[in-house]
Chain A
Amino acid sequence: MLELSINGQTRQVDAEGDTPLLWVLRDNLGMTGTKYGCGIAQCGACTVLVDGTATRACVTPAESVVGAKVVTIEAVERDPVGAKVVEAWVSRQVAQCGYCQSGQVMAATALLQQTPKPTDEDIAGAMTNLCRCGTYNAIAAAVRQAATA
């Protein structure tokens, strides 16, 4: 049994300690907003916040986040920065297929929590999540909009 803090709640999880956080979220807890894309920290579809840092849950053993605060897309709007990011995502009509966008929103939230007024270079450096629909220009525009909201 692992005891994890997910979106402000303490959750008991029956999983091996080396199970990636991604699969604890999706399979043990039924929180499917966080996506599986590559499993090797390349695409970022699984991005969550661990103590405020954008973290790729697919390569993060669940036991390594015991005692840390995990925030997922399901709770992002409870964070004032996250709420601004979501509104910017809606306003800029970012999503196409949408599959990567949970991770994009989480990565943008982490960026703006740490760097409220990012430069274009900051955005390019932080927003490394892949999007096969190529929504990158809308993503960058939404991050800039959220930064001024």
Chain B
Amino acid sequence: MDGMINPGTEDFLGTPLSDVTIPEAGVANLSRRGLFGVGAGALLLGVMVKARPARAQGEGLAAAAPRPGTQVAAFLEFHPDGKVRLLSPFVEGGQGIATAMAQIVGEELDVDPAQFIVDCAPPGADYLVVNGRRLTGGSLSVRSSYATMRQLGATARNLIVRAAAARLDVPEAELTTEPGKVVHKASSRTVPYAELVEAALKLQPSEVAALRDPATFRWIGKPVPRIDIRDKSTGRAQYAIDLQVENMLQGAVTHAPRLGQEPGALANEAEVRAMPGVHSVHKLPGAVAVLADRWWRARKAVEALQVTWADAPNPNALPADFSSAGMLATLRAEKGAGAPAEENGDLAAAFAGAAKTIEAEYDAPYIAHAQLEPPSAAARFNVDGTLDLWVPNQAPEMFQATAARMAGLEPGKVKVHSPILGGFFGRHFLYEAAAPYPQAIALAKAVNRPVKVLWTREEEFLRDGYRPMGFVRFKGAVGADGMPVALQAAAIGEGPIGRYFTQSQPVDSSMVEGIAGKPYAIAAKRVDCVKVKQPTIISFWRSVGHSMNDFFYESFLDELATAGGKDPFEMRLAMLGDKPRQATLLREVAALSGGWKRGPFEVDGIRRARGVAMASPFGSEVATIAEVSITGGEIRVHDLWIAIDPGRAVNPAIIEAQVQSAAAIGLSSSLLEEITYDAGVPQQRNYDTYPILPLARMPRIHVKVVESGAALGGVGEPGVPGVPPAVANAVAALTGQRIRSLPLSKARLGSS
């Protein structure tokens, strides 16, 4: 086991499909009922990932199927007005991937990114470009598809140039391109791409169409403006919630307060049916629904419905006495050893010889995605036997497969439309009972009309899959010189990778990422994964395990610095002696902040202090410094300095925007966010009881993008994990008070 490090979400999602163990049990006999109820989702997510490629390529035809990302006609449409429509493998949800795809394909195709219209592609084998599968997540989009999409653009350009050579009757070598057109300089002739495409697509594509010399890039690596910005500034951008299907009914639902309960008697059903605009009243698995001509009428009616909720036999029902306080107590009481995720050196000897040993326990609450667009879905069964489904999602093939089973159709008969997302942060994967599309399908089938179902914000908070509760127990020691010599950690609980993908494996990588595999030199260390099942629906949340684990680890590292009498910045730097990439980044963030100073110091008569943290999420490296003060017991974060090294930058402006965004959600989770359960029911149902960061609490954020030239790393998530520990470490520097439980606003802080 010496030197072993278990991979995190990053490595897992980046793994080729064949290397992943997928649970198969329990899928073959899924009834419609089973799909709607709780219980099957954990398996579905994993199984659908695996089942997809073979089916997509046609049974028995896999060997002959084209490699994903190579068929020009599947990706590109050329319009007479010079616009190019790209069917992107990825869904745009704010992260800027539509613009990045336009940059990458446009660079090689020789079309200005501003000329692109980018839509999320339908399900299909051509789009499985993320290590043989397809998802928008894991901060994987650009780095997994960069080479493929560049080559696609180059292949398309090559075909068009060859078509032009034939049409102009000149040698291919005499032709060049300018954005959107082929140019024959000798005869001063130009031909727009759109006029050549039909002929071009009849040619045999070249497998080795030449790529552009990166030194001549005009768009890749540049701060190209987002292509969706004007529509999003004028209300013209269309989200799932905005869809209107001809002749549709609108559905509103009320869910069982506690997951697993089912609707019993409807005391006033006749009265509700008579309310304005009401079409019909329905019982659904775990919910009731009203269909009406307008959504507000449906909502008023469903909320007027008097429902008796009854316990039902359901293995995954939330226990009636389930509480978050009880869950935390269960995790705290678990003293088992678990399975090692990282192990190095002789831990017992290191502790025995240490000058000082400390122990601490850290925890983080359930938290919600709280994206601004509430979930909706529209379903329409067509006369030709197909089903149109408009559904917010991060994985079209997975949704197609589950929708097909629910509808009783072959997957190919389900046409999944993937609108842009009004925020996602991990919200729109398949989680059991956490999305309205099964309800839309069932209702459309029941009434033989198109149906759109929209959840209220309250229903969304009730049925969101939350980030799991986190709990870690640490023991660490420093030597006579004050430097850390031993570190032991046990991550206790459950993570989404373990639940949905690797149930049979002893280590759940999403439980230990951000604790195992940290870059610091410590002679003896051991990180254990101790699995304790959580009965709630758990989910991926922006930066997954890192979003809390780096808080735990980097906070405890500061505790070790205090124990050893070390400055936390200088101590980290000393522990990165053999890690030049991380050491460079730590120096960069210090320089960005005007030179490291911990404080406390005074600004305008108010005491402030700074904290530092590092993280290695999703293939990128990040170093963060926070400056805080405390007024009236409330933490105020004035500045965040963040240096990120994603290897190379495809769009530095979007990277900076993503780091700003990630820092904001990281700060929001640090300070404010918590879902608590009482009697099996989540207590926070809207933004009044689940506050998220407002503008008035947004700090200045200073971003430095460092291009080390390392392999491309992720961009959307890596800015999150450094913020909570940097803030907590700053608070400790200011007050001497170490907060080990999130959110920080729970702690009683003296004014300083």
Contact = CB atoms under 8 A, between A and B. Distances in A.
Interface of A: 15-16, 19-20, 23, 26-28, 30, 32-40, 42-43, 45, 72-74, 76-77, 86, 89-90, 93-102, 105, 123-125, 127-140
Interface string B241-252: 110100000100
14 contacts: A34-B235, A40-B457, A93-B229, A93-B653, A97-B93, A97-B372, A97-B373, A101-B233, A128-B694, A128-B696, A131-B695, A132-B425, A134-B668, A137-B700
A95 B296 CA distance: 28
Interface in B402-459: 420-425, 454, 456-458
A90 B230 contact: yes
A95 B660 contact: no
B575 interface: no
Contact of B698 (A26, A35, A74, A136): A136
B693 interface: yes
Nearest to A62: B296
Given A89-B233, A134-B661, A134-B663, A97 B94 contact: yes
Nearest to A86: B233
Given A99-B371, A99-B372, A137-B700, 7 more contacts: A15-B294, A26-B295, A35-B422, A86-B233, A98-B237, A132-B423, A137-B698
Given A23-B294, A39-B457, A138-B660, A99 B226 contact: no
B236 interface: yes
A27 to B, nearest CB: 4
Contacts of B420: 97-98
B202 interface: no
B239 A99 contact: yes
A93 B227 CA distance: 10
Interface stretch (B184-192, B354-362, B684-692, B738-746): B684-692
A66 B563 CA distance: 68
A125 B454 CA distance: 32
Interface of B: 93-96, 225-226, 228-239, 241-242, 244, 250, 276, 294-297, 370-374, 420-425, 454, 456-458, 653, 657, 660-665, 668, 686-688, 692-696, 698, 700-701
Contact of A105 (B226, B233, B371): B233
Contacts of A137: 660, 698, 700-701
Contacts of B228: 95, 98
A139 to B, nearest CB: 6
B232 A130 contact: no
Nearest to B242: A32
Contacts of B370: 132
Contacts of B235: 32-34, 72-74, 76, 102, 105
A133 B664 contact: yes
Contacts of B250: 27
Contacts of B698: 134, 136-137, 140
B373 A90 contact: no
B653 A97 contact: no
Contacts of A15: 294, 296
A95 B231 CA distance: 10
B701 A98 contact: no
A85 to B, nearest CB: 8
Contact of A132 (B371, B457, B663): B371
Nearest to A82: B234
A133 to B, nearest CB: 5
A interface: dominant SS: loop
Shortest beta-carbon contacts, A-B, top 5: A134-B664, A33-B235, A98-B232, A97-B94, A99-B422
Given A27-B250, A40-B686, A99-B239, A134 B693 contact: yes
A38 B687 CA distance: 7
A20 B232 CA distance: 24
Contact of A27 (B294, B456, B668): B294
Contacts of A125: 696
A86 B229 CA distance: 10
B372 A131 contact: yes
Tell which of A36, A40, A128 has the most Cβ of chain B within 10 Å: A36
Contacts of B664: 131, 133-134, 136
Given A132-B370, A138-B657, A95 B423 contact: no
A19 B294 CA distance: 11
B96 A96 contact: yes
A76 B234 CA distance: 8
A124 B373 contact: no
A93 B94 CA distance: 12
Contacts of B230: 86, 90
A42 B688 contact: yes
Contacts of B244: 30, 32
Tell which of A30, A35, A94 has the most Cβ of chain B within 10 Å: A35
Contacts of A27: 250, 294-296
B423 A99 contact: yes
A20 to B, nearest CB: 7
Nearest to A96: B94
B632 to A, nearest CB: 17
Nearest to B421: A97
A76 B236 CA distance: 12
A136 B239 CA distance: 22
Nearest to A22: B296
B94 A42 contact: no
Contacts of A30: 244
A77 B234 CA distance: 8
Nearest to B689: A42
A72 B374 CA distance: 21
Contacts of B226: 93, 95
Contacts of A98: 94, 228, 231-233, 237, 420, 422
B372 A130 contact: yes
Given A93-B226, A132-B425, A136-B698, A42 B233 contact: no
A134 B662 CA distance: 8
A133 B692 CA distance: 11
Nearest to A124: B696
A74 B701 CA distance: 32
B453 to A, nearest CB: 14
Contact of A124 (B662, B695, B701): B695
Contacts of B693: 134, 136
Given A27-B295, A133-B423, A42 B661 contact: no
A95 B233 contact: yes
Contacts of A138: 657, 660
A123 B136 CA distance: 35
Tell which of A26, A32, A96, A100 has the most Cβ of chain B within 10 Å: A96
